[in-house]
């Protein structure tokens, strides 16, 4: 279990009194992914340091844990007035012409929400709904974290989205990536933690909290 990294910041972010740019209808229907405007560009320092430390990152699908100290302080400052923080940070690489298999990010179905950036690749995330309710095995990944895998033949694709700059995503519903390009897909992904509820941020709460910034 990753210890919660609490950072006290003096920077305050004003919550804008604006309505979301997309319709309420879409907000209600989309259970998977939204682009949001956090007001700053992601620092490439984290990615470049990752490249230096993992020169074989293009070779295989892999999940790399990042130290929470590397999380951009501007992101933490953006989240702080929303009573949110980051409880886990990682980079997931999908090499050229590889697939990231269908999975959910933990050992049980939920609506855990993450904030993602993708570098240099427009391959979308696809979301799927299982065609049955049978239990699947819980598997541990290379980092020791549990996930559940699904067979494509047992699921129906319901949503597809190219990650924005950044996007919030629902990681508790089966999802996958098909990288049909000649470039590795590098996804910088952070688990959002709801400090008020002392739990990972759930999608139904995330949509309300991030509504002013949804594009």
Q: CB 77 → Fe ion: shortest distance, Å?
A: 26
Query: By CB under 5 A, what part of segment 147-176 binds Fe ion?
Result: 171
Interatomic CA distance for residues 151 and 159, integer angstroms:
17
Interface region with Fe ion, contact rule CB under 5 A, candidates 40-48, 53-61, 101-109, 205-213: 101-109
Residues touching Fe ion, count (CB under 5 A):
2
Q: Cα(176)–Cα(174) distance, rounded to whole angstroms?
A: 7
Using rule CB under 5 A, residue 112 touches Fe ion: no
- Cβ nearer to Fe ion, comparing 171 with 190: 171
Stretch that binds Fe ion, among 44-52, 97-105, 123-131, 190-198 (CB under 5 A): 97-105
Give the shortest CB-105-to-Fe ion separation in angstroms: 4
Cis peptide before 137, with omega less than 30 degrees from 0?
A: no
In contact, 187 and 115? CB cutoff 8 Å: no
Asked if 105 is part of the footprint of Fe ion (rule: CB under 5 A), the reply reads: yes
Residue with tokens 């990288």, as numbered in its chain: 179
For the chain, first and last CA: distance in Å?
33
Q: Which of 129, 67, 70, 119 lies closest to 92 in space, CA to CA?
A: 119
Closer residue to Fe ion, CB minimum distance, 85 or 94: 94
State the residues that interact with Fe ion by CB under 5 A.
105, 171
């Amino acid at each position: 279990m990753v210890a919660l990294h609490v950072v006290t910041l003096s920077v305050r972010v004003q919550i804008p009194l604006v309505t979301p740019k997309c319709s309420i209808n879409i907000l209600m229907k989309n259970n998977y992914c939204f682009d949001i405007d956090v007001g700053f560009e992601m620092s490439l320092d984290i990615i470049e340091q990752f490249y230096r430390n993992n020169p074989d990152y293009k070779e295989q699908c892999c999940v790399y844990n990042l130290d929470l100290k590397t999380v951009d302080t501007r992101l933490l400052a953006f989240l702080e007035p929303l009573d949110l923080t980051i409880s886990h940070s990682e980079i997931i690489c999908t090499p050229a012409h590889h697939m990231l298999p269908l999975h959910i990010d933990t050992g049980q179905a939920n609506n855990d929400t993450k904030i993602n950036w993708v570098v240099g690749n427009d391959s979308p995330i696809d979301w799927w709904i299982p065609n049955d309710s049978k239990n699947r095995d819980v598997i541990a990944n290379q980092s020791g974290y549990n996930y559940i895998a699904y067979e494509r033949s047992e699921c129906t694709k319901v949503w597809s989205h190219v990650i924005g700059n950044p996007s919030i995503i629902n990681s508790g519903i089966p999802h996958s990536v098909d990288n049909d390009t000649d470039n590795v897909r590098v996804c910088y992904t952070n688990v959002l933690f709801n400090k008020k509820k002392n739990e990972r941020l759930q999608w139904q709460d995330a949509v309300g909290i991030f509504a002013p910034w949804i594009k």
